[in-house]
Amino acid sequence: MALWAYFAAGDSIRMLSLTASQLAETPRVRDLQQAYLWYAMEARQYAILRRWIDPEDPNFNEQRTLLLAVLAIFIQTHPRDDLTGLIESLFPGGKGPVSALWDSARVFAACGRYAQAITLGKLALGPAVCRSRKGLASASCAETCQRGVRSRAGNFVFAYRTIRGGKATDSRNQSNQICCSDPD
């Protein structure tokens, strides 16, 4: 009953607190897990979501999948919310499990949030070095890589493999081949 009262009052912090206490008692209840993630997003308490993508947790894959599913629905139902602070809270200093970074990028891309998708994709790829055929870094190189990622938003894994494999090509201009490679 208290949860509905908090919901009617729009008090997402108390909803989150109550759900957290219920989740502590029964941690494997999927509905409570989903509610907790949703209320955390509503309350903009993004830092507490970090534990859902902790690779040291034995339930990492399951928890990450649930978080990303809730995030996708949240993005779709809150189209004007820019989710300021979410990426930095989940991946402080731009660091985190590559699979979580990349999967998050795919969710943002699928929801049409390309700026966030590109940011996360760049973090997943690490510091990439872009060079044109002449070996000169250029702003147009980064733009071409971003355009390529955006054009493949529905198939982000293909873009990842393409870039990691050493070549990303702007299909509209075959003479402008761009090489994106890790410095490692």
| Range 78-101 average pLDDT | 89
Mean pLDDT to the nearest integer, 66-75: 94
Q: Residue 151: inside a domain, yes or no? A: yes
Specify the pTM. Answer: 0.66
| Residue-number span of the structural domain to which 158 is assigned | 128-184
Inter-CA distances, 98 with 52, 144, 160, Å: 14, 23, 11
Considering the domain boundaries, does residue 175 fall inside one? yes
Whether the pLDDT of residue 95 is over 50: the answer is: yes
For all residues of the chain together, what is the average pLDDT? 74
pLDDT of residue 5: 86
Q: In this model, does residue 163 exceed pLDDT 70?
A: no
Average pLDDT on 131-159 reads 45
State the amino acid at position 173 in one-letter form.
N
Q: Does residue 155 have a pLDDT over 80? A: no
- Domain assignment present for residue 31? The answer is no
98 part of a folded domain:
no
Is residue 181 assigned to a domain? yes
Give how far Cα 3 sits from Cα of 13, 110, 182, Å. 11, 32, 49
If one counts the domains in the chain, the total is 1
Burial 100-115 (b: 16+ CB within 10 A, else e): bbbbbbbbbbebebbe
What's at 102, amino acid-wise? Answer: W
